[in-house]
A and B are shown apart, each in its own frame.
Chain A
Amino acid sequence: MKRILVGIKRVVDFNVRIRIKPDGSGVVTDGVKMSVNPFDEIALEEALRIKERGGADEVIVATVGPADCQQQLRSALAMGADRALHVQAEGVIEPLVVARALLKLIEREQPFLVILGKQAIDDDNGQTGQVLAALWNRPQATYASKVELTGAKARVTREVDAGLETLEVDLPAVLTTDLRLNEPRYVKLPDIMKAKKKPLDTLTLAALGVEPRQQLKLVRFEPPPQRQKGVRVKDAAELVEQLKKKGLL
């Protein structure tokens, strides 16, 4: 069975303007819309397309987090994943812990490909894919904008600062997705109904033998310094004059 494992994370929806709790302990999530991290949706979409082209038999979606994450796993099942794995964990879960848990799932499921988003839009860490590839001692191709599978290899185009880089990696490998890899499909109502019957297994970090060690204390969340609102100028001439006055032109 050729399997692809996709990791997803439950995050505050990208359209929500976040509010910091008055005590600085975090960000308000009560009553706030939560979604699958957008980069992870792209990861799932890529896995589904590979399967639809006949490149895989099964797409498994997994997450590490509290009970609420099952909503996002159901969304992923509705998008088309075949089954879901929920590793229950509470509190602050660092990338290293997530990667260790995913590695345990890899050992159980033996995927030939693991796809994750390049970063979660809440903590913006951008680490889990690389940490997982390191622990697994397998290739990583991050920031993928094109993926071609040929036999036991993948050719991946990556969005890097210099432009586009192409790597060839042996499988199995870890890929992380950039924005332009694909456009995730919309979920239709019948698929949501169908998703309720798809298997969703719940595990725990303890059962996987992963210690939820926290190495970084989140001391304080603060709002960023605000920029002062500026002035309106009436035309190009006034703009150029103002910029010259400030020594910018």
Chain B
Amino acid sequence: MAEHDGTRLNVSTAKCVTCARALQGAEITVAVCAADASQVAPQAAQLAGVARVLAVENPANAHALAAVLAPQIVALAEPFAVVLGPSTTYGKDLMARIAGLLGAPQISDIMAIESPTRFRRPVYAGNAILTVESLGAARVVGTVRMASFEAAAGGGAAPIEKVQLSVELPQHTRFIAVSAASTDRPDLQTASRVISGGRALGSAEGFKILYSLADKLGAAVGASRAAVDAGYAPNEMQVGQTGKIIAPELYVAVGISGAIQHLTGIKDARTIVAINKDGEAPIFEVADFGLVGDLFQIIPEIEKLVS
């Protein structure tokens, strides 16, 4: 299931393709549901390993509403053994509805595919890894954990087929609006560098020193749950078990104590830096580099040093 905004394919789709390629000999189809798929379908067709793209065009698909998309995917699902979507809010909302309609089991947050019936996934906020095996279901549905897979490369040229479906779509769910702070910073989920702030930043104003450093480094900015709850940062910046799970090359945790729910979201980062005034904070247990001190002094110093 492709994720997109009508013009651009989300990188989550390329990660799902990589996950699917772990299935030996699998023929991978990407379904693009859109009002007009002419921009997005060619992007999906370029992903290495994709055998074909199905463009499902319908004015009702202008916004990704799970209740509207799910019956269309169910109508297409018959020949497929595995139906995958990204473990983003889009995919988590949609795939379980598809699983429900199919009566199929869903494997959430797939981190590895060992065989077409055997998968690994995190449970208990990532404090345990569970291997599950499908017990003979005709098909399984899955969401793909974004931090576990690289994006598939480009260079492919899969054929695009337009599909006309005669499925009755529900009218009971209507899109009203989406609001997001517009930002020129890189996307949190794909950025190679991320700087996150916690409650110790003290205010939305306090976060400005992180934005300033992030802009110097070309980094995205994240936040702990505590900082989001306190209103210092918007919800889409939350990193952790119930926020975004990320795997940047460099993660800098500033004034974040490191609750297990937060650590879940950053475990796969290549290098973790912790800056905190409390030397006993659990974040130091997972940090590659730890610096104990006053963040309001340290962050501007770092900014000066990298300028």
- Compute how far the CA of A134 lies from the CA of B89 in the bound complex, rounded to whole angstroms: 17
Q: Which residue of A lies closest to B119 (CB)?
A: A216
**Given A131-B99, A179-B242, A236-B302: A169 in contact with B173 (beta carbons within 8 A):** yes
Q: A94 is contacted by which of B105, B125, B181, B292 (Cβ under 8 Å)?
A: B105
Contact with A along B273-299 (1 / 0, CB 8 A): 100000000001111111111000010
- Cross-chain contact A178 with B242 (CB below 8 angstroms): yes
Chain A residue total in the interface (Cβ 8 A): 82
- Cross-chain contact B132 with A217 (CB below 8 angstroms): yes
Interface residues of A in 209-249 (CB under 8 A from B): 214-224, 227-237, 239-240, 242-243, 246, 248-249
Q: Does B249 contact A (CB under 8 A)?
A: yes
- Cross-chain contact B290 with A231 (CB below 8 angstroms): yes
Q: Does B13 contact A (CB under 8 A)?
A: no
- Cross-chain contact B125 with A121 (CB below 8 angstroms): yes
Interface residues of B in 111-165 (CB under 8 A from A): 118, 122-135, 137
Q: A239 is contacted by which of B65, B249, B286, B289 (Cβ under 8 Å)?
A: B289
Tell me what chain A mostly uses at the interface: helix, strand, loop, or mixed: mixed
Contacts of B96 in A (CB 8 A): 95, 126-131, 134
- Interface segment, one of B15-23, B34-42, B228-236: B228-236
**Given A162-B180, A233-B290: A223 in contact with B128 (beta carbons within 8 A):** yes
- Cross-chain contact B178 with A162 (CB below 8 angstroms): yes
Contact count band on B: 35 or more
Q: Which residue of B lies closest to A130 (CB)?
A: B96
- Compute how far the CA of A242 lies from the CA of B305 in the bound complex, rounded to whole angstroms: 12
Q: Does B106 contact A (CB under 8 A)?
A: yes
Q: B70 is contacted by which of A18, A134, A214 (Cβ under 8 Å)?
A: A134
Contacts of B199 in A (CB 8 A): none
Q: B293 is contacted by which of A168, A218, A235 (Cβ under 8 Å)?
A: A235
Contact with A along B257-280 (1 / 0, CB 8 A): 000110000010001110000000
Contacts of B236 in A (CB 8 A): 159-164
- Cross-chain contact B100 with A165 (CB below 8 angstroms): no
Q: A166 is contacted by which of B70, B124, B176 (Cβ under 8 Å)?
A: B176
Q: Which residue of B lies closest to A173 (CB)?
A: B172
Contacts of A133 in B (CB 8 A): 67, 97, 100
| Count, A-B residue pairs, CB within 8 A | 248
- Cross-chain contact A166 with B181 (CB below 8 angstroms): no
Contacts of A132 in B (CB 8 A): 100
- Interface segment, one of A63-71, A135-143, A189-197: A135-143
Contact with A along B85-111 (1 / 0, CB 8 A): 000111011111111110111111100
- Cross-chain contact A166 with B178 (CB below 8 angstroms): yes
Contacts of B92 in A (CB 8 A): 126, 142
Contacts of A164 in B (CB 8 A): 178-180, 235-236
- Compute how far the CA of A141 lies from the CA of B305 in the bound complex, rounded to whole angstroms: 47
- A96, A145, A162, A179, most chain B CB atoms within 10 A: A162
Q: A: which residues have CB within 8 A of B?
A: 12, 14, 17-18, 20, 27, 94-96, 99, 118-119, 121-135, 137-143, 145, 155, 158-170, 173, 178-180, 214-224, 227-237, 239-240, 242-243, 246, 248-249
Q: 4 more A-B contacts (CB under 8 A) besides A134-B98, A165-B175, A169-B173? A: A127-B108, A131-B100, A160-B236, A167-B174
Sample of 19 A–B contacts (CB below 8 Å): A94-B105, A96-B99, A96-B100, A96-B105, A124-B122, A124-B124, A126-B92, A134-B99, A142-B92, A166-B175, A167-B173, A168-B176, A169-B174, A170-B173, A227-B272, A230-B272, A240-B302, A240-B305, A246-B271
Q: Which 4 A-B pairs have the closest CB atoms?
A: A134-B100, A163-B180, A131-B100, A130-B96
